[in-house]
A and B are shown apart, each in its own frame.
Chain A
Amino acid sequence: MQKFFQRTKGIFFRKREAMITLALALVCIFLYSFFPVSTFAQKFFSNITFLLIIPALYIKIILKKRLRDFGWQIGDWKKGVFWSVFFLAIMLAVLYLAFNYTGLAQKYQVNSYAAGDFRFFIGYEILMVGMFLFLYESFYRGFVLFSFSKRTGMWAVLIQAGLFFAFSLMTNNFNWGNANFLALSLVSGVIAYKSRSIWYSLATSLMLIALMDAFWISLNSATKVK
């Protein structure tokens, strides 16, 4: 028992930064989900706080590191563009098949206002969807992935994706309606890891979501015309 304690203690002291970061990430995810809010505005500020502000403060105050080390940089743009285009093509093909040959189209949902008004659709995709994608990218890919990537390499992609999966499971969001985000958590992780930046993965995610929404809207419009 004493050996086990000392061994554990040793691991902790050797990887204290990783452990504390992991603990903080878990606490942030937990509070992100369960921090009591009563209005949408409060929920919005809560999300920003736990997915952006606290990790940023932690990086700057506790870790005393630069934000660019956590993906807030241009990074390797060639790799970023390459992997973005590569995964975008794959994801579009996969999701196209999923739309046509699985029940995804029935489960998928798009804001009804956005479906009826193109200007609103653009604003919705960029501001609303883009805002939450940015928060996800900065937290999962920026904070979590780059906290572990130096020590674990590509495994960091799986760690941040695992956290997202766990978070989805915990909040009953592990379903077809969120299949694109679940898939994107892996793809975005690879892009961010390869490019050392969160912007390419953010752009890829945004484009993919926008295209999927547009595709779904066109699909449903066609159905209605018939």
Chain B
Amino acid sequence: MVLILVSVFFNIQQAKADTLSDMTSGTQAGIKNWTESTSPTTMATQIFQQISKEAENRYHVSLQGIQQSAESMNTSYLKRDFPQVMLTFSPSNPKDGEKVTAMASPTYFSMDNEQLYYTWYIAHKNKPADSNCYLDSDGNLSKDADIEDCKVDAMRILAQGGWEPNWKDYKDYKDKGIKEGDYNAYYNLFSDDSADPDKDGYNATIGGDNSDSSKCYIADFVKGIAYEMVKSKTDDTSRCDHVFPETSISGKDTGDGKFGLKEEKFWKTDPNNPSTAGNGNKDEANIVGLGQMQFSWNYQSGDKIGVAVEGRSLKPTKYDNNQEKNVGASMMVMWALPKDTCSLDGTKDTKTTTIKTEGMSGETTDFSGIETIQTTTKDINDCLKDNLVDPAEGGQATQIKPTLSAIPENPMQDPEGTDTDTINVQASFENASSSLSNMYYEWKIQGSKNSVAGPFTDIATCDQDAWTDSEKPKCGGKFTEINRLSGNNLSSINFKPNLDSTDFSSGDNGIIYLKVHLDAYENFSAENQTTRVGRTDVIIKLIRPSVKLDAFVPSLTGTNLLTSADATKICNKDASSEIQKYICFVTPNQIIGARLMDSNNSGTSANLNYSWMLNEKPLYFDPAFCSDDACKNGKMVYFPTSSQAGDQYSLTLNLADEKTGKNMQLSKVFEVVEPYVKIVQNDEASWPKYLGRYEDLNGSCAGDDLKCQEKFYDFSDAIFETNNGNQVKLKAEYHPEWIKNSVNAYSDKKQWVLDGDEQGDNQTDELSFSAGKDVGEVYNVEFNAIYNQSPEMRKALNNIWGISSFDSVESDLSSSIQIETVENATITKSNEEKAILASVLGNTSENIIFLLRLMLTIALMIFVSGLVFAAAPRRT
């Protein structure tokens, strides 16, 4: 001992010397500690550390790594992968009566999924008539319920596969007392109780089909320990029983390989068909759930379902295979449960077993040892009630997931109010079970002029009262063309912003971020009165530009040189027709120019980058054909229209503000129309003939009061009326309106014709004449003109775009009307007698008046004849 100590000391000293001499790279602290330490234990530790360090350096092994590995190994045996099963449902949110399929996905079994036994069980919210399996008010299996009934309910569905006897196939079934649905009477037809004509028995082996294991375990997932099932605490003999549903038939175990008539009757399977469900399994194999990974049933609200999957696990037992050769002890037989829940409290114990195995040295002598095995007296059936799963995830409906999309992408509020975009926000849902029209919607619009991040505040008060009053502006007039903001079938809303300038951020091109928020509700389950809700919002950047897009028909400063000087404005913002406010009507084969104007109607803005698009294609114009600087800088473009009436052009100008970085999009729509002229009244002396009226059937106020029906009057375009003696004034109205200048400038024919007589050679658009014709007589009025472009412009069309001059010829404009002279129907209050007479005459039948007139004529003629006769006596 002393020698050893001396030797050790010597070695230490030697090592110390070596270390001191070699440790040129050592830390000063290490040297200090080394030299100052006097405790042998400390020194021993230091030596071990030094040896370890040398080993690490030599073999690149980290001591910390070894430590961590060892720590993991300490508990790794508790981290074995016990069999598990995951349930998925299709559909994931079933409704009452809907066919639901539960899919079991087992893992950590050492055999194919088709070899496992799936024992399904189902519990309903309400107690079925023929079963004692139901849930209590908390959704747990009722204390009075029998889990075996739960299994029978499920496995019967699975084994039957929807089969039922074809009752009418049995001759004289009425005489035999067989009524439709009377299974007892049906099965009584098969008198031999022991018979199994269809040979549909299945002998189930422990641990799955053809398993060679027989040691059954229950896993404690919390502690990570598998407990062997034993008979009792006093009798630690291994116990291993299936969890197949038990029948009330004595001596007939499920999975015993015999499936006689009694069992067929109990399970209500076809005695003549070995696979009643038609899935390739024998009836008894279906009842033990062999390979039955799917289970389908008609869902009732509150249903819960579970499955116990029996099979051979990946975990080996501690038993000696040789010793237990005849009973199979290689792998644990275990049950996978959906929630991995099985409380083993109070059932745990241990037992020991002696094993024999070959020695590690390879010697022929066996090594014998004693193994300790954790045991439990727990029955797996007792765990089933804790592993029930609700297909609707605990009965709580998941949220529906709405998404909103808004168009246009870059909406704009025109300061003049004519080019303001109508914004459409459309909702769609990923997982709604109802159609969009059956859901309830609540929309809310807020605004922020700061940023996308808000804060958002209410910018308009959208009172519900306003929706019932057609006269009342909606949302305080800040949103027009808006429909209701709450109600059913409102999956989209439209609104046209009409915000104040103060609602926008200050400066040019003010911005407001509109946050459109949606709460959508879906009546998910009528029985449970479950409502699912989905909430989302979308933020829309609304710009109030200080610039606008101006369109015009250019003029020429020289051959093929287009200019905006003396241009003809073609978009009529003040037009009485709504459509003309939004669409610029142009004529076929016409050159159209477009430019950006600021609020003062002058050319603008040097800080903006321009990008022109025509019908979503880039639009460029060769500067060689224009004279304006704006055109040469790309801030003004020209394009020709087609010869096809009805064609539309969408001109878009994308602007990027170099200073602020704001992007903007301005657009205009042009539609090609054939020019025409129309004769209209120029004052009140003549008027279009009243043809009738249309009435809005819905009415504009509550109830069905006909007085509330909005009336739309129809007047003739071709027939006018006037009174005798009126000075009729008419004028020619051109469409598009701006062609008037071209007609005046280039037309050599503009002519009014009244009853076939040309009315002078004055080139005016107005006609005036005195209506001297009697009541009932008609004036025929006609107006003719020619619209054409200047020859220079037609040449420019040809030279710049190659449009043939044959395509830009003149257009004949002609319009005609008839003016009927009618009786003056004006009734004044001061002449009530005439009014009464007029009223009587007006309501008297036309035929009565005719007969009266005829009789008066007869009387007059006879009277006059007699008078003449009397006045001229015969001369004798």
Contact = CB atoms under 8 A, between A and B. Distances in A.
B861 interface: yes
A20 B862 contact: no
A31 B857 CA distance: 9
A110 interface: no
A35 B872 contact: no
B846 A53 contact: no
A54 B862 contact: yes
A139 B636 CA distance: 85
Nearest to B858: A54
A204 to B, nearest CB: 30
B841 to A, nearest CB: 15
A5 B861 CA distance: 26
Contact of B858 (A16, A38, A53): A53
Nearest to B861: A54
A22 to B, nearest CB: 12
A12 B872 contact: yes
A51 to B, nearest CB: 12
Given A37-B850, A38-B846, A57 B872 contact: no
Nearest to B854: A49
A53 B854 CA distance: 11
B854 A13 contact: no
B854 A16 contact: no
Interface in A22-77: 24, 27-28, 31, 35-39, 41-42, 45-46, 49, 53-54, 57-58, 61-62
Contacts of B865: 20, 24, 58, 62
Given A12-B872, A14-B875, A38-B846, A45 B854 contact: yes
B54 to A, nearest CB: 130
Given A20-B868, A42-B850, A13 B858 contact: no
Interface in B813-849: 846-847
Contacts of B869: 16-17, 20, 62
Given A41-B847, A42-B847, A42-B850, A62 B857 contact: no
Interface residues of A, number: 27
A200 to B, nearest CB: 29
B873 to A, nearest CB: 8
Contacts of B875: 10, 13-14
A28 B854 CA distance: 12
B707 interface: no
Nearest to B862: A57
B850 A24 contact: no
Contact of A16 (B776, B847, B862, B872): B872
A49 B858 contact: yes
A58 B862 contact: yes
A10 B874 CA distance: 11
Contact of A57 (B847, B854, B858): B858
Nearest to A28: B861
B851 A62 contact: no
A42 to B, nearest CB: 5
Contacts of B866: 61-62
Nearest to A21: B865
Nearest to B846: A38
B412 to A, nearest CB: 59
B17 to A, nearest CB: 144
B666 to A, nearest CB: 60
A36 B846 CA distance: 12
B862 A61 contact: yes
Nearest to A12: B872
A49 B861 CA distance: 11
A31 B864 CA distance: 15
A149 B862 CA distance: 23
A61 B858 CA distance: 12
Nearest to B868: A20
B854 A46 contact: yes
Contacts of A42: 847, 850
B862 A62 contact: yes
A38 B858 CA distance: 19
B861 A27 contact: yes
Contacts of A58: 861-862, 865
A5 B869 CA distance: 19
A13 B776 CA distance: 41
A49 B857 contact: yes
Contacts of B776: 36
B861 A24 contact: yes
Contacts of A62: 862, 865-866, 869
Interface in B81-128: none
Nearest to A24: B865
Contacts of A14: 875
Contacts of B850: 37-38, 42, 45
B874 A16 contact: yes
A149 to B, nearest CB: 20
A174 to B, nearest CB: 25
Nearest to B859: A57
Nearest to B851: A45
A144 B875 CA distance: 23
A187 B861 CA distance: 30
A31 B854 CA distance: 10
A61 B859 CA distance: 11
Nearest to A61: B862
Contacts of A45: 850-851, 854
Interface in B338-356: none
Given A12-B872, A16-B872, A49-B858, 9 more contacts: A13-B872, A13-B875, A16-B868, A24-B861, A31-B857, A49-B857, A57-B862, A61-B866, A62-B862
5 contacts: A14-B875, A24-B861, A37-B850, A61-B866, A62-B862
7 closest A-B pairs by CB? A13-B875, A16-B872, A62-B865, A42-B850, A62-B866, A49-B854, A57-B862
